[in-house]
Amino acid sequence: MFVAFNMYLETHLRRQSLFFIAERSVLTANKILKLGLYKPPTVEPCYVSSAPRPFNRSQFWKSPQSNTNVKEYSIVFNILKVLYTSNIRATLFGGSVLGARRHMGIIPFGEWDVDIAVFSTDTDAIEKLLNAEKIKWSYNEYGFGYHINNGTNYYTDLWLLQSFENGDAICVGIKKLGGCKLWYSHFGRGNSLRMAKPAIYNSWVGPDVLYPFGPYLLPIPYDSTGYLNLEYGIHWNVSCSEYDALVPCKKYYGRTPFVFVESASKHVLRVGKEVKQVFDCPDKK
């Protein structure tokens, strides 16, 4: 045990050293250079609202090409709508924000869930609401919130976040189950040392913004670009694997829907050269 602790401490101290940080920065920079230097795309906050709504220009999501079924999206839409009408703030979270911004939907490879951030720690109110809507739920085993079985190949996770007066937010989860710290200790960055902890986000400082997610407009963080930069690195729109692994997205362009940014207010979803959906906001609704 003493030897193991010494190895843990030695590795921990090395990770705090300037040499290690510089080494990691150089490796990351090299990967970015291989992908191409660029500035991560932004989205103009034209639909400033938390009220989820159908997106009429979404016929693509009813086709086999979309790789998902409309039912998956309708379940998520109904959950967010119920939370909104009950005055509980909620947005897409984690990989679902990435899926929205990069694919206008669920990530079409290797993704089987939708993540929702719920800005409330009132578990009694949340559970009462879910029960009233006959939504089948269970506690997530890693403490961050609730697991919802959609009755399909996909499932939905609700992450409980706490927001502060200055607009910052942090994942707290359900404390009696270990809270978000339990999940981050297993799956966060640096998880082999069990050192990771929930990040403090400032991406929700502004009002939520609606963005296409399947056949709906669903709320995402006001600064979704900043959020994705923090969670996945600034290469999130050109590298199609988690964090800083080098798997260029362009290898999937011919068969998978991707968002291409024509301007901050006009994003186009294409499979190959074929346009499937256009999201713009000239009227600033």
CATH classification of the domain holding 187: 3.30.460.40
> What's residue 193's pLDDT?
37
- Confidence category of residue 137, pLDDT binned at 50, 70, 90: very high
For residue 66, being part of any structural domain is answered with yes
Residue 155 in this model has a pLDDT that exceeds 60: yes
For residue 93, being part of any structural domain is answered with yes
Asked if 273 contacts 263 with a C-beta cutoff of 8 angstroms, the reply is no
Number of compact structural domains in the chain: 1
For residue 258, being part of any structural domain is answered with no
Six token digits for residue 204 = 């929700």
DSSP state of 17: S
Q: In the predicted model, what is the mean pLDDT of the chain?
A: 80
CB atoms within 10 A of CB 68: 19
For residue 17, being part of any structural domain is answered with no
For residue 141, being part of any structural domain is answered with yes
241 contacts: CB under 8 Å, gap ≥ 6? 247
Six token digits for residue 155 = 């499932």
Average pLDDT on 187-193 reads 51
Q: Supply the range of the domain harboring residue 173.
A: 42-237
223 contacts: CB under 8 Å, gap ≥ 6? 202, 203, 204, 205, 206
> What's residue 242's pLDDT?
54
- Confidence category of residue 285, pLDDT binned at 50, 70, 90: very low
